[in-house]
Amino acid sequence: MPRLFILLLATCIGYAQQSTKGATRILEKKIGKYSKHGWNHYGPGHFTLDRKTGVLECHGGMGLFWYSKKKYKNFILELDYKTSEPKANSGIFLRVPDIPVSDDYIYHSFEIQINDAGKGKHKTAAVYDAQAASKDVSKPSGEWNHYKITFQDDRIQVELNGEQVNDWLASPSGKVADFAEEGYIGLQNHDWDTNTYFRNIFIKEL
């Protein structure tokens, strides 16, 4: 195996270990199998889980797969995602204030967008409808991307594939009328004809 490849692999492993140190895996793995325990789904569509690999796949839309075991205030959320094609539309919801019983949560929580075919405030790494990303560092469809999202008090910072692409002092903007001091984490399923995949979901409270 070439020495350069070994060094790069060691660097990536070291980064992943450092990045998730002290964090909690919220897509749980027990006795060698992954589980959706603690997660619920609201709305149309659904998420499937490969229990061996821990890969979630969203189907249909528009719904929300949300982690119901705990509300979070200040945190760092890290996860990997990939899409089936550039127009695939999904996102990560932050601080969903209450148990979703309607689509009303979209007006009271921020979404970090996934949509490579979008533009500006509706493109990948934007705070949806509020703050566009500073640059496009997404990998092509079919390749895994890594999000690191920090929400501390009113400040949202987004790193995509190791580069900071958003740093915003949150305020009611676009579709969001207000936002809570704490809330649930949610993954969106949006389209009927595309797929988005997630894995390695970790959260660290600050």
- Amino acid at site 78: E
Q: Give mean pLDDT, residues 100-128.
A: 97
User: What is the SS3 assignment for 5?
Assistant: helix
- What are the domain boundaries of the chain? 24-205
Question: pTM value?
Answer: 0.89
Is the distance from CB of 100 to CB of 71 less than 8 angstroms?
no
- Give the percent of the chain with pLDDT over 90: 84
User: What is the SS3 assignment for 107?
Assistant: helix
Query: Is the confidence at residue 13, as pLDDT, over 70?
Result: no
Q: Give mean pLDDT, residues 35-48.
A: 96
Residue whose C-alpha is closest to residue 41's, from 149, 175, 184: 184
Q: Give mean pLDDT, residues 173-189.
A: 97
* pLDDT tier for residue 19 given thresholds of 50, 70 and 90: low
Tokens of 94: 């932050």
Domain 24-205 has CATH 2.40.170.20: no
Lowest mean pLDDT across 74-83, 96-105, 158-167, 188-197: 188-197
Q: What b-and-e string marks burial along 58-79, b requiring 16 or more CB atoms within 10 Å of the CB?
A: bbbbbbbbbbeeebbeebbbbb
